[in-house]
Amino acid sequence: MSETRHNWTKEEILDIYNKPLMELLYDAATIHRKYHDPNTVQVSTLLSIKTGGCPEDCGYCPQAARYHTDIEGNDLMSVQQVKAQALRAKSSGSSRVCMGAAWRNVKDGPEFDQVLEMVRTINKLDMEVCCTLGMITENQAKRLAEAGLYAYNHNLDTSEDYYKDVISTRAFEDRLETIDNVRKTNVTVCSGGIIGMGEKVEDRAGMLVALASLSPQPESVPVNALVAVEGTPMEDIEPVAIWEMIRMVATTRIVMPKTQVRLSAGRTEMSREGQAMCFFAGANSIFAGDKLLTTPNPDVNEDMEMFKMLGLNPQKAFVKAPQPETIEATASKIEPLGEKPKWTRPGHKIERNENAKANSKLVEKE
Ligand code: SF4
């Protein structure tokens, strides 16, 4: 029951997801103990290095320029700002920094060069560096690897079927292509999704089929609960029940036994008891800091109190894979190719996305 399999079917995953809860928890916790230290949880810090103004139409995201939300946009942060925040994160127990930029895809040029310098700087602080920058080419993935990137995040978000009801500006296959480009380097893959977006349980299973069938499976899978933000197309969706989160974490743990399962957005809605059950079910990472990109997150001191209460220890950096080497920009052997790949734009109409866009125009006129 515990070796890594890449041929899970949706039906098998649904059978696991729908098991009586105590049985599901027992199975997931048994597998978790085989591959991971059950008393260790990684604390990661998510930094929004470029916020807002994104051209995509992801129905859950307050950073999409087309929706009217309260978030404050900012241009790309400086390397010094990022270094200061990384040092602060390290001193409060984080072993990983994930930098997010609200871009559709990476473009070669001064901004990407600045991100590469951020990667070098954080890797030299002996922290795991992860980036989430949108779609990337193989050449860009290689340049990130050369700078010392430890992980690249590119979420599948949901099942291929439901994806079409969430995003119309990019295609599910392009997500897979970016993951494939990352896999041509030694950078590890972080890819997961969001539950509570109005999808069916079958879609959650479908997403897990897609992730588990990647070979190798992603080293890291974030499981997010939707945080419904006013002004986004999903603003009226009720928060997902904690039981669903626990089931999703446990099922993820069973189908991807060696993966780091990350309890991500939506923790402010969860009690400590609920989070403890997620850790028991196999979650072994949280994001720290009072903001998760743009949505609220528990304060780091509250998390440390919870760790103390549960007897959990923060995971050290590079426990799961060795620290990458950093090659300085001056010694780089990989030239930017200045490619302009034609990432797909399906362009179909999603009613709730169209409505949110129309409402945003009305608000701006007022
Ligand atoms: S999720 Fe990412 S790509 Fe989608 S709108 Fe938000 S910032 Fe842009």
345 is in an annotated binding site: no
Residue 130 annotated as binding?
yes
Amino acid at 239: P
Which residues are designated catalytic?
54, 58, 61, 98, 130, 190, 262
Q: List the beta bridge partners of residue 225.
A: 195
Ligand 1 center–CA 218 separation, angstroms: 21
Ligand-binding site membership of 278 (annotated): no
For the Cβ of 61 lying below 6 angstroms from any atom of ligand 1, the answer is yes
Q: How far apart are CA 333 and CA 131, in angstroms?
A: 21
Closest ligand 1 atom, CA of 134? 3
Distance of CA 74 to the CA centre of its chain: 21
Q: How far apart are the first and last CA of the chain?
A: 59
The residue to mutate among 46, 50, 63, 227, having the most atoms of ligand 1 within 8 angstroms of its beta carbon, is 63
- Residue 131, annotated as binding a ligand: no
Task: Please give the distance, rounded to the nearest whole angstrom, from the Cα atom of residue 165 to the centre of ligand 1.
Answer: 15
Q: Among the CATH numbers 3.20.20.70, 3.90.1150.10, 3.40.50.300, 3.40.50.2300, which is that of 38-240+264-273+285-322+329-365?
A: 3.20.20.70
Q: Whose CA is nearest to atom 4 of ligand 1?
A: 58
Q: How far is the CA of 56 from the centre of ligand 1 (A)?
A: 6
Total count of residues recorded for the chain: 366
Supply the pTM of this predicted model: 0.95
Taking the domains of the chain in order of start, what are their residue ranges? 38-240+264-273+285-322+329-365
Q: Are 104 and 56 in contact (CB under 8 A)?
A: yes
288 close to ligand 1 (CB < 6 Angstrom): no
CB 58 near ligand 1, within 6 Å: yes
CA–centroid distance, 221 to ligand 1, in Å, is 18
Residue 110's closest CA among 182, 46, 50, 188?
50
Dig out the tokens for 93 from the structure.
């127990």
Six token digits for residue 166: 């969430």
Tens of pLDDT along the chain (366 residues)?
A: 447 999 999 999 999 999 999 999 999 999 999 999 999 999 999 999 999 999 999 999 999 999 988 888 889 999 999 999 999 999 988 999 999 999 999 999 999 999 999 999 999 999 999 999 999 999 999 999 999 999 999 999 999 999 999 999 999 999 999 999 999 999 999 999 999 999 999 999 999 999 999 999 999 999 999 999 999 999 999 999 999 999 999 999 999 999 999 998 888 889 999 999 999 999 999 998 756 566 666 777 888 999 999 999 999 999 999 999 999 999 999 999 999 888 999 989 999 999 999 988 777 776
Compute the CA torsion angle 6, 12, 15, 16 (nearest 10 deg): -20
Residue 223 bridge partners (DSSP)? 193, 263
